[in-house]
């Protein structure tokens, strides 16, 4: 057994919250390239503003976007790890509490019914998977809700097939329109049960823009979906232009003979994420 200490997790998570203040390099590059190839004048205005914004945020160490989201974590906890000094989820939440304050992030978390704010952006959303080994991998995705509100789940019939899957993704992006702050990244989860499909869709957002899917069928599907989404001409901010999606990521999980679940989770233009391995 290897020990990982509560205080080290708190410190790591606190520092990871700086991710709210910088676009990932892949997103910065994708926005710059989009700005170069965009033909609509208004979309170019939006894209060039976003490129400048990323530079301002980095320079001043302030949040790229005021919606610093709910703090979503994917943990991969090696089965040979013992957490010492406190409970794992408490450590994550304490890190969020400190980090969101330290980096001037917005406290956006509240009770769904009373609408009373917790004023420290906790609780975080924590998905933990037990894996092999003696490490703890922490992936952080601050998820804004302009895009999160556009999440969709389609429980298709098996006979709908790949065409049905594609139609569902297009329907999700089309109905979202300008609301998720395009240019977007589209995460698609196919198969499993309803909740596995949703989780799979969200997990895709951890991939880097431009990364190639090792599965040939999925790689082709991703490219086809990207082309079809961009043909919708929603454009940056919904202004009507060439670039609607910066990328599309798809993954599958085995499902039931009666089912074809398709989940869509959208990432806005402000792609922020961080990964740490302890």
Partner 1 sequence: MKRVFSPISNASELKAGDEVLLCGEILTARDAAHKRICELEAENMPVSLEGQTIFYVGPSMKDGKITSAGPTTSMRMDKYTPTVLERGAVALIGKGDRKAEVYDALKKFKGVYFVAVGGAGAIYADCIKKHEIVAYEDLGSEAIFRLEVEDMPLVVAIDGEGSSIFR
**Residue ranges in contact with partner 1 by CB under 8 A:** 42, 45-46, 49-50, 52-54, 56-57, 60, 62-68, 101, 103-108, 115, 117, 119, 146, 149, 177-179, 181, 237-240, 268-270
Q: How far apart are CA 61 and CA 164, in angstroms?
A: 44
- The DSSP-derived string for 67-128 is ---EEEEEEEEETTEEEESS-HHHHHHHHHHHHHHHTT-----B-TTT--B-SS-PSPEEEE
Q: Give the nearest distance from C-beta 189 to partner 1 in angstroms.
A: 24
- Considering beta carbons, is residue 137 or 179 the nearer one to partner 1? 179
Minimum distance, C-beta of residue 146 to partner 1, in the bound complex (Å): 5
Distance CA 3, CA 84 (A): 6
Query: How near is the Cβ of 273 to partner 1 at its closest, in Å?
Result: 15
Nearest to 66 by CA among 103, 11, 33: 103
Residues making up the chain, counted from first to last: 278
User: Quick check: 98 and 10 in contact, CB under 8 A?
Assistant: yes
Q: Is the dihedral of CA 13, 146, 169, 42 positive or negative?
A: negative
Give me 35's structure tokens: 């700005």
Sheet holding 260-267: strands in order across? 152-156, 260-267, 184-192, 245-255
CB of 46 to partner 1, least distance (A): 5
- Of 149 and 157, nearer to partner 1 (C-beta) is 149
Q: How far apart are CA 162 and CA 231, in angstroms?
A: 19
Nearer CB in complex with partner 1: 86/104:
104
Question: What are residue 144's phi and psi, to 5 degrees?
Answer: -70, 155
Cβ of residue 208: shortest distance to partner 1, in angstroms?
Answer: 18
Q: Which is nearer to partner 1, 213 or 267 (CB)?
A: 267
**Which CB atom, from 117 or from 215, has the smaller least distance to partner 1?**
117
Q: Which lies closer to partner 1 via its Cβ, residue 53 or residue 255?
A: 53
Q: Cβ of residue 268: shortest distance to partner 1, in angstroms?
A: 6
């Amino acid at each position: 057994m290897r020990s990982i200490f509560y205080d080290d997790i708190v410190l790591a998570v606190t520092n990871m919250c700086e991710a709210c203040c910088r676009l990932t390099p892949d997103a910065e590059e994708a926005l710059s390239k989009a700005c170069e190839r965009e033909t609509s004048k208004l979309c170019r205005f939006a894209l060039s503003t976003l490129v400048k914004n990323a530079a301002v945020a980095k320079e001043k160490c302030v949040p790229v976007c005021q919606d610093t989201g709910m703090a979503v974590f994917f943990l991969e906890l090696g089965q040979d790890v013992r957490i010492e000094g406190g409970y794992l989820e408490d450590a994550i939440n304490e890190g969020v509490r400190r980090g969101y304050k330290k980096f001037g992030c917005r406290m956006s978390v509240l009770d769904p019914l009373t609408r009373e704010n917790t004023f420290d952006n906790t609780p975080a959303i924590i998905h933990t998977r037990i894996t092999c080994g003696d490490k703890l991998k922490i992936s952080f995705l601050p998820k804004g809700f302009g895009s999160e509100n556009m999440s969709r789940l389609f429980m298709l019939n098996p006979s709908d097939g790949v065409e049905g899957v594609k139609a569902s993704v297009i329907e999700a992006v089309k109905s979202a329109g300008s609301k998720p702050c395009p240019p977007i990244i589209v995460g698609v989860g196919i198969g499993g049960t309803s909740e596995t499909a949703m989780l799979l869709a969200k997990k895709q957002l951890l991939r880097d823009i431009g990364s190639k899917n090792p599965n040939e069928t999925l790689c082709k599907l991703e490219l086809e979906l990207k082309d079809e989404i961009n043909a919708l001409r929603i454009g940056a901010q919904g202004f009507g232009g060439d670039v609607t999606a910066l990328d599309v990521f798809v993954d599958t999980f085995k499902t039931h003979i009666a089912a074809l679940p398709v989940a869509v989770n959208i990432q806005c233009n402000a792609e922020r994420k961080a990964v740490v391995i302890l």
